[in-house]
Amino acid sequence: MNYSEFFTNRPTEEIAKDLLGRTLSFNNGQEILAGTIVETEAYLGPQDRAAHSYNGRRSQANEGLYCPGGHLYIYSQRQYFFFDVATQEKDNPQGVLVRAIEPTAGLETMIKNRNGKDGRLVTNGPGKMMQAFGIHSRKWDLAALKDSPFTIDLANKRQIEEILPLPRVGINQSDPKWANKKLRYVVAGNPFVSDIKKKDIKLNHGFDKN
DNA sequence: TCGCGGATAGACT
DNA sequence: GTCTATCCGCGAG
């Protein structure tokens, strides 16, 4: 299985779910920073009101979505950055946003990059995750995943107890049909899921025993 | 532990 | 000038 196979030939929703439990890592040149993906969102292209490619919108800013599956779409908003992977074939502008990870390597560096923020505050949101990786530019926008310092482990995956589908976060509510569509997928009970309530956190973080 | 509002920067009209 | 696929600090309970 290579990246272009993984990120094409099936619905983007399915790809988003399949990413949960897999390891995302970033090589910053000094060490490997990594974590288990626990939250993703699917964006379904021109007909999806919440997608950056809604209605065929295309510019230098969102060109990444139009790349073949397995290429990166790094987007900046306010002072933060987002990590997206394009899905489907070239010119079919769908993609998956990785929103949160549970750190597994390089935690000390990630805490430092986050100005000392600790625990689940390190990576429980898309902007926070990229800050923890120490990314402050769109340098890897449009790059193929395989030619970038980012890696997603397609060979291994932690077993998840339950995948919870939820509405996406922070999108325009003017079209409730798309705003309420459950295209956000989370590992139920994992503490690094954004905005999870403390009482909903499970002791096993939502994973079956490995 | 919660809900609210301000900060802040790039893309687009 | 307007609008975000956000984050953080603050004050109330």
Q: How far is the CA of A65 from the C1' of B12 (A)?
A: 18
- Surface-to-core class of residue A159, CB atoms within 10 Å of its CB (0-12 exposed, 13-18 middle, 19+ buried): exposed
The pLDDT tens digits of the residues spanning A53-109 come to: 999 999 999 999 999 999 999 999 999 999 999 999 999 999 999 999 999 999 999
Strand B bases within 7 angstroms of protein beta carbons: 1-2, 7-12
3-state secondary structure of A168: coil
Q: How far is the CA of A77 from the C1' of B7 (A)?
A: 13
The predicted structure's pLDDT at residue A209: 76
Which tokens belong to A110?
Answer: 């990630």
**pLDDT band with cut points at 50, 70 and 90 for residue A172:** confident
Protein residues in reach of strand C (CB < 7 A): A 41, 43, 50-53, 62, 65, 73, 75, 77-78, 80, 82, 84, 95, 97, 114, 117, 121, 125-129, 131, 168-172, 194
Going by C-alpha positions, the residue among A12, A33, A62, A8 that lies closest to residue A150 is A33
CA distance A15 to A38: 14
Q: What is the mean pLDDT of residues A21-25?
A: 98
Cβ atoms A82, A64 nearer than 8 A: no
Which tokens belong to A33?
Answer: 């920073």
The predicted structure's pLDDT at residue A210: 61
Q: What is the mean pLDDT of residues A168-186?
A: 92
3-state secondary structure of A185: strand
The DSSP-derived string for A82-98 is: EEEEEESSTT--EEEEE
* pTM exceeds 0.95: yes
Give every CB contact of residue A134 below 8 A, 6+ residues apart in sequence.
Answer: A28, A33, A109, A113
